[in-house]
């Protein structure tokens, strides 16, 4: 890790400070450093060195106590993440200690956090889809939220740019509502998925099935190895095959000689100078010593994750901004969104018993949105839409755990692959509601004495109607396509389970109704940029991380240009 300088100097003024080193923070660091700016990255957690600090990446279930299940004491340590089911013995070291980082809930919300160098880029699902003008124009057309200040044409070259560097595998479909990316070779559908694709597209014109578009290099890319189909991605990828800040953007930033990363840095607030009319630095609490330190910079990027960035802005008060930095509109903290999650159907397929698949593909299938695209696909049941993810697999030896059998024949049967199963689960769009919000709870403090966030958010009638349609359509499609023993489901998850929290410091055209402008600058403090999920004005129904990357690269390059012109 020779590229990484962790000796932050509080005596100097940096050109730029980036708060957070996750998916968007890594991109901000790369672009600012490559633009020639001396950049300080403030990371709340520890340093995680690529390859070296992935301790469970090659462990098998029998190498771990409880075969990888979470111990009771760890379940309390990760009580919020455990709700979502994403944490276990193999990856617990990549999730925040919820005891030191509490939050309060007016309504239930599952906030999954990863406090270390790389943030959630070490544990994310890696699904990467471009948004389209169907998404960027939605608010303006149906009146929910405010109009995005950008359109697809503004992000298209930046999608091209980040995809080429990050490495996105997939296949082109030519759909205007799901634009194609710059693709590496796609992963292969298995035999049942190919069968479903053929029948689905014949039975349901306008519905398509494709391999998931994922941030996995399927061939060597810029010194990174190709995916090995281990499917242990949330333990860290020693090959660098999947995109993470640790394997991709932070090394690129470090190679410039312009990067300094300071770990164990709890950001207290962004410092705003009323006399200068701009932000001048960041106030930090050292997580280990509790020392308060101030670092100065000419521009500041907040990439701490959607809710953490908003928490910092709310706590950044001054005479000019008594209710939080940039909160002239009163919209800071409002319009929180997530995708609906774990609703769909599954079934058994008879056939293809003589076929299997090789490896453990870390990816599934995707069925893009097919409702409310135009007049022909419009419904009066709900606004916006949904897409499906899922896949086909064969049951393994564990299918025998509930069988009342014994003896040699039974043992031999455990070595025979079981039935083919297929499932799809929907991701539904959440509308931007003003009363889905976060605020500071001054009665509850974290381990460093800072007020925690209170979260007050729920899925409303439109999201519930979308989920009903997701469930009904999933069951109908599986029945039409010949599946047996179909089970439809809706786990009725509260927001946060999708781990796609967005909004609370939205972009917009009007400073009276938004926090950020079209280049992600705080309207009244233009040397402060917010390019993580907080900036999102609507939520689409596809995974947002690729859009965070493109938005961040675009904003960072704008910041570099404006700084060099003397405009910031």
Alpha carbon distance 311, 450 (integer Å): 10
* pLDDT per residue as tens digits for the range 515-563: 999 999 999 999 999 999 999 999 999 999 999 999 999 999 999 999 9
Angle between helices 545-564 and 152-166 (to 10 degrees): 100
Half-sphere exposure (Cβ direction) of 54: Cα atoms closer than 13 Å: 20
At residue 288, the 3 state secondary structure works out as: coil
Q: Are residues 239 and 357 in the same domain?
A: no
Q: Which of 63-77, 87-101, 111-125, 249-263 bottoms out in mean pLDDT, i.e. has the lowest?
A: 63-77
Half-sphere exposure (Cβ direction) of 534: Cα atoms closer than 13 Å: 33
Q: Are residues 468 and 530 in the same domain?
A: no
Q: Are residues 32 and 112 in the same domain?
A: yes
pLDDT at 415: 75
Half-sphere exposure (Cβ direction) of 407: Cα atoms closer than 13 Å: 3
pLDDT top residue among 433 and 8: 433
Q: Is the pLDDT of residue 36 over 90?
A: yes
Structure tokens at 454: 């209170």
Q: Are residues 86 and 202 in the same domain?
A: no
Q: Is the pLDDT of residue 8 over 90?
A: no
Structure tokens at 115: 């406090």
Q: Are residues 324 and 451 in the same domain?
A: yes
Alpha carbon distance 99, 378 (integer Å): 46
Q: Determine the average pLDDT of the residues in 37-65.
A: 94
Residue 83: partners with Cβ closer than 8 Å, 6 or more residues away: 110, 497
Alpha carbon 555 to chain centroid, angstroms = 19
Alpha carbon distance 491, 354 (integer Å): 34
Alpha carbon distance 539, 343 (integer Å): 18
5 falls within a domain: no
Q: Determine the average pLDDT of the residues in 348-361.
A: 92
Is 141 in contact with 532 (CB distance < 8 Å)? no
Structure tokens at 86: 């994403």
Alpha carbon distance 201, 279 (integer Å): 54
pLDDT top residue among 446 and 418: 446
Is 32 in contact with 314 (CB distance < 8 Å)? no
Q: Determine the average pLDDT of the residues in 256-263.
A: 97
Is 346 in contact with 423 (CB distance < 8 Å)? yes
Q: State the residue for tokens 């009276």.
A: 512
Q: Is the pLDDT of residue 155 over 80?
A: yes
Tally of structural domains, the chain: 2
Question: In terms of residue numbers, what domain contains 48?
Answer: 13-127+229-338+435-457+498-564
44 falls within a domain: yes
User: What's the count of helices (H) and strands (E) in the chain, helices before strands?
Assistant: 12, 19
Q: Are residues 273 and 318 in the same domain?
A: yes
Residue 11: partners with Cβ closer than 8 Å, 6 or more residues away: none
Q: Determine the average pLDDT of the residues in 10-16.
A: 91
Q: Are residues 334 and 344 in the same domain?
A: no
Q: Are residues 304 and 245 in the same domain?
A: yes
Q: Which of 4-13, 18-27, 137-146, 349-358 bottoms out in mean pLDDT, i.e. has the lowest?
A: 4-13
Alpha carbon distance 538, 248 (integer Å): 28
394 falls within a domain: yes
Q: Which of 6-15, 25-34, 348-357 bottoms out in mean pLDDT, i.e. has the lowest?
A: 6-15
pLDDT at 223: 93
351 falls within a domain: yes
Q: What is the 3-state secondary structure (H, E, C) of 94-133?
A: HCCCCCCCCCEECCCCCCCCCCECCHHHHCCCCECCCCCH
**Within 10 Å of residue 224's Cβ, how many Cβ atoms?**
19
161 falls within a domain: no
Say if pTM beats, i.e. exceeds, 0.85. Answer: yes
% of residues, the chain, pLDDT over 90: 88
Q: Are residues 297 and 439 in the same domain?
A: yes
Q: What are phi and psi of 101, to 5 degrees?
A: -125, 65
**Looking at the chain, how many residues does it have?**
568
DSSP per residue, 329-358: GS-TT---B----SEEEEEEE---TT---S
In the chain, what is the greatest distance between 2 CA atoms, to the nearest angstrom? 83
Q: Are residues 253 and 207 in the same domain?
A: no
Q: Which of 82-91, 178-187, 285-294 bottoms out in mean pLDDT, i.e. has the lowest?
A: 82-91
Please state, in angstroms and as integers, the Cα–Cα distance from residue 397 to each residue in 65, 284, 413, following that order. 20, 52, 8
Q: Is the pLDDT of residue 7 over 90?
A: no
Q: How confident is the model at residue 399 (pLDDT cuts 50, 70, 90)?
A: low
61 falls within a domain: yes
CATH assignment at residue 523: 3.50.50.60
Q: Are residues 365 and 247 in the same domain?
A: no
Q: Determine the average pLDDT of the residues in 117-126.
A: 97
Angle between helices 23-34 and 545-564 (to 10 degrees): 30
Alpha carbon distance 56, 236 (integer Å): 8
At residue 280, the 3 state secondary structure works out as: strand
Q: Which of 67-71, 205-209, 488-492 bottoms out in mean pLDDT, i.e. has the lowest?
A: 67-71
Residue 269 pairs with which residues in a beta bridge? 283
Strands 292-302 and 278-286, by their bridges, are antiparallel
140 falls within a domain: no
Q: Are residues 66 and 123 in the same domain?
A: yes
Is 267 in contact with 11 (CB distance < 8 Å)? no
pLDDT at 400: 66
Alpha carbon 94 to chain centroid, angstroms = 15
Q: Is the pLDDT of residue 173 over 90?
A: yes
Query: pLDDT averaged over the chain?
Result: 95
Q: State the residue for tokens 């039975």.
A: 203
Long-range contacts from 151-157, C-beta under 8 angstroms, 24+ separation: 152/179, 154/518, 154/554, 155/130, 155/131, 155/547, 155/550, 155/551, 155/554
Q: How confident is the model at residue 2 (pLDDT cuts 50, 70, 90)?
A: low
At residue 502, the 3 state secondary structure works out as: strand
75 falls within a domain: yes
Q: Is the pLDDT of residue 189 over 80?
A: yes
* pLDDT per residue as tens digits for the range 421-438: 999 999 999 999 999 999
* pLDDT per residue as tens digits for the range 210-250: 999 999 999 999 999 999 999 999 999 999 999 999 999 99
Strands 451-456 and 525-530, by their bridges, are unpaired
Q: Determine the average pLDDT of the residues in 52-56.
A: 94
């Amino acid at each position: 890790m020779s590229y990484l300088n962790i000796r932050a100097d509080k005596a100097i003024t940096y050109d730029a400070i980036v708060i957070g080193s996750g998916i968007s923070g890594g991109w901000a660091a790369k672009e600012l450093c490559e633009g020639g700016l001396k950049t300080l990255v403030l990371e709340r957690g520890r340093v995680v060195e690529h390859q070296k600090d992935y301790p469970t990446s090659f462990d098998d279930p029998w190498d771990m106590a409880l075969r990888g299940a979470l111990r009771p004491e760890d379940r309390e340590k990760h009580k919020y993440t455990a709700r979502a089911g994403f944490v276990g013995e193999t990856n617990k070291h990549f999730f925040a200690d919820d005891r030191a980082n509490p939050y309060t809930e007016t309504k239930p919300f599952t906030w999954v956090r990863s406090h270390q160098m790389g943030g959630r880029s070490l544990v994310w699902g890696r699904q990467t889809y471009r948004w389209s003008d169907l998404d960027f124009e939605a608010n303006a057309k149906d009146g929910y939220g405010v109009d995005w200040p950008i359109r697809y044409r503004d992000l298209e070259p930046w999608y091209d740019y980040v995809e080429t560097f990050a490495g996105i595998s997939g296949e082109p479909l030519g759909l205007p509502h799901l634009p194609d990316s710059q693709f590496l070779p796609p992963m292969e559908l298995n035999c049942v998925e190919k069968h479903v694709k053929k029948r689905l597209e014949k039975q349901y014109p306008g519905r398509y099935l494709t391999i998931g578009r994922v941030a996995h290099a399927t061939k060597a890319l810029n010194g990174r190895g190709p995916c090995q189909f281990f499917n242990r991605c949330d333990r860290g990828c020693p090959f660098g095959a999947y995109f993470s800040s640790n394997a991709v953007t932070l090394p690129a930033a470090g190679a410039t000689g312009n990067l300094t990363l300071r770990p164990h840095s709890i950001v207290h607030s962004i410092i705003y100078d009323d006399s200068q009319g701009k932000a001048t630095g960041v106030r930090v609490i050292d997580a280990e010593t509790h020392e308060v330190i101030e670092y100065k910079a000419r521009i500041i990027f907040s990439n701490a994750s959607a809710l953490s960035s908003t928490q910092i802005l709310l706590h950044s008060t001054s005479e000019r901004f008594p209710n939080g930095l940039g909160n002239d509109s009163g919209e800071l903290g409002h319009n929180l969104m997530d995708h609906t999650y774990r609703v769909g159907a599954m079934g058994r397929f008879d056939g293809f018993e003589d076929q299997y698949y090789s490896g453990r593909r870390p990816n599934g299938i995707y069925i893009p949105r097919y409702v409310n695209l135009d007049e022909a696909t419009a419904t009066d049941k709900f606004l916006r839409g949904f897409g499906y993810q899922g896949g086909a697999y064969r049951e393994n030896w564990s299918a025998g755990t509930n069988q009342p059998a014994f003896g040699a024949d039974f043992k031999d049967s455990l070595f025979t692959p079981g039935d083919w199963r297929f499932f799809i689960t929907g991701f539904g769009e959440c509308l931007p509601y003003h009363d889905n919000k976060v605020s500071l709870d001054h009665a509850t403090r974290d381990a460093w004495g800072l007020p925690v966030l209170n979260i007050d958010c729920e899925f409303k009638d439109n999201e519930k109607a979308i989920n009903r349609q997701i469930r009904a359509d999933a069951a109908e499609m599986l029945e039409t396509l010949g599946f047996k023993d179909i089970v439809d489901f809706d786990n009725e998850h509260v927001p946060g389970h999708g781990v796609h929290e967005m909004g609370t410091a939205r972009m917009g055209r009007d400073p009276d109704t938004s926090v950020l402008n079209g280049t992600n600058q705080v309207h009244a403090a233009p040397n402060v940029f917010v390019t993580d999920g907080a900036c999102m004005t609507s939520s689409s129904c596809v995974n947002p991380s690729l859009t965070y990357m493109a938005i961040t690269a675009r904003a960072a390059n704008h910041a570099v240009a404006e700084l060099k012109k003397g405009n910031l």
